[in-house]
Amino acid sequence: MNAYGQLDQLRRLQGRWLETLGLGPQETPSRVVLSAPPFTLRAYGPADRAGPLLLLLPAPIKRAYIWDLVPAASVVRRLLRHGAGVYLLHWESPGADGQERGLADYADRCILQCLDAIAAERGRRRIFLAGHSLGGSLAAIFAALHPERVGGLILLEAPIRFGAPADAFTPFVARAPHARQVTALLHEVPGSFLSMAAARAAPDSFVRARWSDWLHSLSDREALQRHLQVIRWTLDELPFPRRLFEEVVELLYRENRFMAGTLQVRGKLATPARVKAPVLSVVDPRSHVVPPEAVLPFHAAVGSGDAQLLWYEGDVGVALQHVGVLVGKRAHRQLWPRILRWLDAHGEAG
């Protein structure tokens, strides 16, 4: 085991210690619909709901429970209260046999298997996809590959145009060696390595803002508890499989192939023009992780011609503003009612 793998173990120990203090996730009861490495598909609520169906997609290096952290900060519970049928894809550690899984798996096969399982259970082939961060990027690529299966896209802090001028990762990737040089040393890419790389690329977002949020949370017990619950989640990252890391860094970040119209996945071309679903994006105008420039060009190019934007200006008590849209008090009070109205306005996927 390399030093980063050992650091991952230490981080998980720290996370378990926080959990003994009552800061672990409090997830909504669910049932397993499908287990097919590298993911498990879970369903929430009764299987006979008539409302819209959503598949929630976390980033492939993140534990899915950030969507369902605690009852007061749970996108899953909010959607259930609205009458939606909710499915959440839980990514799993790729393991030694999963290192050659790339975009063909994570942006196509795995999502398609989930939609097929949902269709078998619910009788509907087109549903809404909601993705956060890189999970939203994968959802957008899937919608371009399979426009007939997607009734709508909800993209939460999700980069689509890579290499945007205000994107903190662009200069970092430009200076970095080819991704294969990294994977040759690390085999899979541990979560601790990714966290350290993110801190170097965007210290304002991943280091200074975290400490600032802690300071601003000290006078509010609920905010401080939520801050620590998110910190516990950050210590629970998944490793990036080798091939997916190489393709995300080279094909998306360095070459911007999706927006350039040259991304091929399993022999099919994925371009924004092939996305026929309505799109709703949530963007933090101050963000250097997913700046507006990483989203707006996609809106202009999307094939449906139906793309709406919601601004999100942050919360206190979220540790990382990048996940505030999922767990923040202001987000749940002001932003999610607007997302649900958009969902209602676009009806049920068929």
Contact (CB, 8 A) for 312 and 53: no
From CA 225, how far away is CA 79, in angstroms rounded?
A: 23
> Average of pLDDT values for 139-156?
98
Mean pLDDT value across residues 60-86: 96
Give domain status of residue 350, yes or no: no
pLDDT exceeds 60 at position 348: no
- Confidence at residue 1, expressed as pLDDT on a 0 to 100 scale: 57
- Indicate whether this model's pTM tops 0.75: yes
Find the DSSP H helices in the chain: 3-18, 75-81, 103-104, 110-122, 134-145, 169-175, 179-186, 191-201, 203, 209-217, 221-234, 242-247, 257-260, 296-301, 324-327, 329-330, 336-345
- How far, rounded to the nearest angstrom, does the alpha carbon of residue 306 sit from its chain's CA centroid? 22
User: Tens digit of pLDDT for each residue in 265-298?
Assistant: 999 999 999 999 999 999 999 999 999 999 999 9
Residue 211 sits in a domain whose CATH number is 3.40.50.1820
Question: Does 317 fall in a domain?
Answer: yes
* CA nearest neighbour of 156 among 350, 4, 331: 331
Q: Look at residue 255 and tell me if it is in a domain.
A: yes
Residues 6+ apart with CB under 8 A from 185: 2
C-alpha 130/C-alpha 150 separation (Å) is 10
What is the number of domains present in the chain? Answer: 1
Domain for residue 104, yes or no? yes
Whether the predicted pLDDT of 185 surpasses 90: no
Determine the structural domain holding residue 323 and report its residue range. Answer: 3-345
- Tell me the C-alpha distance between 92 and 112, whole Å: 17
Helix (H, G, I), strand (E, B) or coil at 244: helix
